[in-house]
Amino acid sequence: MNVELNHTIVWCGDKQKSASFLVEILDLQHPVKFGPMLIVRLSNAVSLDFYEQEGKISLQHYAFLVGDSDFERIFARIRERKLEYWADPGRQRAGETYEHNGGHGFYFLDPDGHLLEVMTRPYAIEG
């Protein structure tokens, strides 16, 4: 059986603001309107479909695997915007990056509070 993730909905208060934030930070192509959503396409054919919701947003975690040179450019944009970032998902190690499996990464928040992660190596999962 071959199963691939095709898309996921990112619930947000303002789809233009949230999609634009991600596009600018990760240097992605402009979002495309599809029905009530704004679609942000990633390199591996998966899309994040930004959909507005009134009231409380259920917060999620989205991790992005990037190359080393892309990581440096993304991290520079985070620092230029003076955004908070952490080395851990519990946000205890502020202003730090992590090292894992020969790579590095960090966590930061999008405008709605979703926890975003940028990493240069996938986790080594046994089993």
Q: What is the pLDDT of residues 68-126, one digit of tens each?
A: 999 999 999 999 999 999 999 999 999 999 998 899 999 999 999 999 999 999 987 76
In the block, residue with structure tokens 């960090």: 106
Q: What angle do CA 68, 106, 72 make, to 5 degrees?
A: 30
Residue 101 pLDDT: 86
> What is the b/e burial string over 70-85, where b = at least 16 CB atoms within 10 angstroms of the residue's CB?
bbeebbeebeeeeeeb
Q: Which helix (H) or strand (E) holds 75?
A: helix 68-80
Summarize the confidence of residues 49-78 as an average pLDDT: 96
120 within 8 A of 66, measured Cβ to Cβ: yes
Q: What is the pLDDT of residues 19-28, one digit of tens each?
A: 999 999 999 9
User: For the whole model, what pTM was predicted?
Assistant: 0.94
CATH T-level assignment (fold) for domain 7-119: 2,3-Dihydroxybiphenyl 1,2-Dioxygenase; domain 1 (3.10.180)
Domain locations in the chain? 7-119
